């Protein structure tokens, strides 16, 4: 792997990643693998599309939370337990908490976080990696853990780099009025899937900031 990392070809490319929804968690997890270590210094742009980076500790969507609860009880899906911090009795030993401690963000030259306040599937603050009102007033262990995770991520973004790092939070407002009232709009799924079905915002970012790609 050392030979690969020193190769001229690798030095001339700019590895960039685009993650959508839970794909962002998979992507960041992959970056913690030893096989990726030689490539980390060359990482260029990371575009996160509605990623639940801070999990669902403070999700305000009651209907969606109910669905997650049913999935945990009836199907026992591991990723649902991980996203809701139910995979270990000690919250500081959970998968997402440990992931935030890994340096998965600081090697990127550019980091763009796309989010939408209309998206009911991913908490707004989680997609933007920022503080939320519920956590700021929570002095319990859960609140402290959330702040620790948030600071771990922000410290990576603020870490010194050999090159200037670009960090942007971008909000997207979808016109879903034509869809009327249906299950997708009620539970917030409509805006979540619009990220995949509407590519105008992605093209706008690429045209506006060509140096990032």
What is the percent of the chain with per-residue pLDDT over 90, rounded to a whole number?
Answer: 47
What pLDDT does residue 184 have? Answer: 56
Tens digit of each residue's pLDDT (9 = 90 or more) over 122-180: 999 999 999 999 999 899 999 999 999 999 999 999 988 767 889 999 888 876 666 66
Give the residue, 54 or 207, on which the prediction is more confident.
54
What pLDDT does residue 118 have? Answer: 84
The pLDDT mean for the chain works out to: 84
3-state DSSP of the chain: CHHHHCCHHHHHCCCCEEEECCHHHHHHHHCCCHHHHHHHHHCCEEEEECCCCCCCCCCCCHHHHHHHHHHHHHCCCHHHHHHCCCCCCCHHHCHHHHHHHCCCCCCCCEEEEEECCCCCCCCHHHHHCCCCHHHHCCCCHHHHHHHHHHHHHHHHHHCCCCCCCEEEEEECCCCCHHHCCCHHHHHCHHHHHHHHHCCHHHHHHHHHCHHHC
Residue 56 pLDDT exceeds 60? yes
């Amino acid at each position: 792997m050392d030979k690969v990392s020193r190769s001229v070809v690798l030095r001339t490319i700019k590895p960039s990643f685009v993650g959508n929804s839970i794909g962002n968690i998979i992507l960041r997890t992959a970056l913690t693998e030893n096989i990726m270590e030689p490539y980390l210094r060359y990482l260029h742009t990371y575009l996160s599309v509605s990623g639940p980076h801070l999990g669902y500790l403070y999700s305000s969507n009651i209907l969606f939370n109910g669905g997650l609860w049913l999935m945990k009880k009836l199907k026992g899906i591991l990723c649902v337990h991980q996203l809701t911090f139910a995979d270990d009795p000690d919250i500081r030993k959970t998968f997402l908490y440990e992931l935030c401690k890994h340096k998965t963000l600081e090697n990127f030259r550019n980091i763009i976080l796309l989010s939408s306040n209309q998206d009911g599937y991913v908490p707004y603050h989680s997609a933007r990696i920022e503080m939320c009102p519920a956590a700021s007033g929570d002095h319990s262990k859960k609140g402290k853990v959330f702040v620790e995770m948030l600071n771990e991520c922000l410290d990576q973004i603020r870490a010194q780099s050999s090159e200037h790092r670009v960090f942007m939070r971008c909000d997207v407002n979808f016109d879903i009025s034509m869809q009327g009232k249906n299950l997708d709009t009620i539970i917030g799924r409509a805006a979540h899937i619009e990220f995949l079905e509407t590519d105008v915002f992605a093209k706008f970012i690429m045209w506006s900031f060509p140096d990032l790609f």
